[in-house]
Amino acid sequence: AQKVTQAQTEISVVEKEDVTLDCVYETRDTTYYLFWYKQPPSGELVFLIRRNSFDEQNEISGRYSWNFQKSTSSFNFTITASQVVDSAVYFCALSGTGGGADGLTFGKGTHLIIQP
């Protein structure tokens, strides 16, 4: 079975600080996909990034960056120079390819609060 763990339930930082959201996953599949989504108070999950298990290159998109480390089964997300608009719940998710009926397996989410 697949599992995604986001150990940080809530993080509160002051605007302009850097913040890292942790994600650890478990899967028996050799090919799998990792995702990050943002859920603002409106409820809609906003897609941020998709990564396949064979691509361990880190990625940067503006103030956002992702660190994928297969050796530690982690896919961490860093926001640089945080802004109030970054306040939301962030979900890490996993999609395997080994069959079964899992769809996207989500972590419990990290509630990020950016204080002005």
Partner 1 sequence: KAGVTQTPRYLIKTRGQQVTLSCSPISGHRSVSWYQQTPGQGLQFLFEYFSETQRNKGNFPGRFSGRQFSNSRSEMNVSTLELGDSALYLCASSFGGHTEAFFGQGTRLTVV
| Footprint of partner 1 (CB under 8 A) | 33, 35, 37, 42-47, 50, 52, 91, 93, 95, 97, 100-109
CB 73 within 8 A of CB 25: yes
Residue 84 CB, nearest approach to partner 1 (Å): 21
Angle at the Cα of 46 (from 93 to 12), degrees rounded to 5? 80
Among residues 35 and 114, whose Cβ is nearest to partner 1? 35
DSSP label at residue 17: -
Residue 45 CB, nearest approach to partner 1 (Å): 4
Among residues 37 and 82, whose Cβ is nearest to partner 1? 37
Residue 106 CB, nearest approach to partner 1 (Å): 4
Among residues 77 and 91, whose Cβ is nearest to partner 1? 91
Residue 38 CB, nearest approach to partner 1 (Å): 11
DSSP label at residue 104: P
CB 78 within 8 A of CB 65: yes
CB 48 within 8 A of CB 38: yes
